[in-house]
A = this chain, B = another copy of it.
Amino acid sequence: MKAKFSLIGASLLGALALAACEVINTADADAGDTVVEKPQFTADGQLVRPENYYEWIYVGSPLTPNALNGGEAGFPEFHNVYIQPSAYKIYKKTGVFPEGTIFYKELQLVLRSDHEDGSANEASGRGYFPGAFNGADVAVKDSARFPDTNGWGYFNFGHHAPPLAKTAKALPAEACAACHIASATKDMVFTKFYTRLQ
Contacts and interface: CB of A to CB of B under 8 A. Distances in A.
Contact count band on A? 35 or more
Contacts of A80: 58, 60-61
Interface in A157-192: 179, 182-183, 190, 192
A41 interface: no
Contacts of A127: 62-65, 68-69, 73, 77
Contact of A85 (B55, B117, B125): B55
B24 A62 contact: no
Residue from the set A111, A119, A128 with the largest chain B CB neighbour count within 10 Å: A128
Nearest to A6: B7
Given A7-B3, A13-B11, A125-B69, A130 B194 contact: yes
A153 B179 CA distance: 45
Contact of A125 (B61, B73, B122, B182): B73
A167 to B, nearest CB: 23
A126 B69 contact: yes
A55 B54 contact: no
Interface stretch (A14-22, A31-39, A94-102, A142-150): A14-22
A75 B123 contact: no
A141 interface: no
Given A54-B57, A74-B124, 6 more contacts: A10-B11, A60-B130, A62-B128, A63-B127, A73-B127, A130-B194
